[in-house]
């Protein structure tokens, strides 16, 4: 990992952007995305 940023993000930018999307699919979908991401 290159130099640390002052504020470390809990999620990778891609996943973070998915979470911040308008909740068309709702929180259940977000939870599934998170779980899939963590289970990789």
- Give the three-state DSSP class for 24: coil
Query: How many of the other CB atoms lie within 10 Å of CB of 14?
Result: 8
Instruction: Confirm whether 25 is domain-assigned.
Output: yes
- Evaluate whether residue 1 is within a structural domain: no
- For the entire predicted model, the pTM comes to 0.32
What would the two tokens of residue 31 be? 């939870």
- Predicted pLDDT at 37: 81
**Residue 33: is it exposed, middle or buried by C-beta count within 10 angstroms (0-12/13-18/19+)?**
middle
pLDDT, one tens digit for every residue, the chain (40 residues): 555 556 665 655 666 566 565 555 567 777 788 888 887 6
Boundaries of domain holding 23: 11-40
DSSP one-letter code for 12: -
Q: Structural domain tally of the chain?
A: 1
The answer to whether residue 5 sits within a structural domain is: no
* 3 assigned to some structural domain: no
């Amino acid at each position: 990992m290159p130099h640390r940023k002052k504020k470390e993000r809990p999620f990778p930018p891609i996943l973070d952007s998915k979470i911040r999307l308008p909740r068309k699919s709702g929180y259940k979908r977000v939870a599934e995305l998170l779980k899939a991401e963590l289970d990789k």
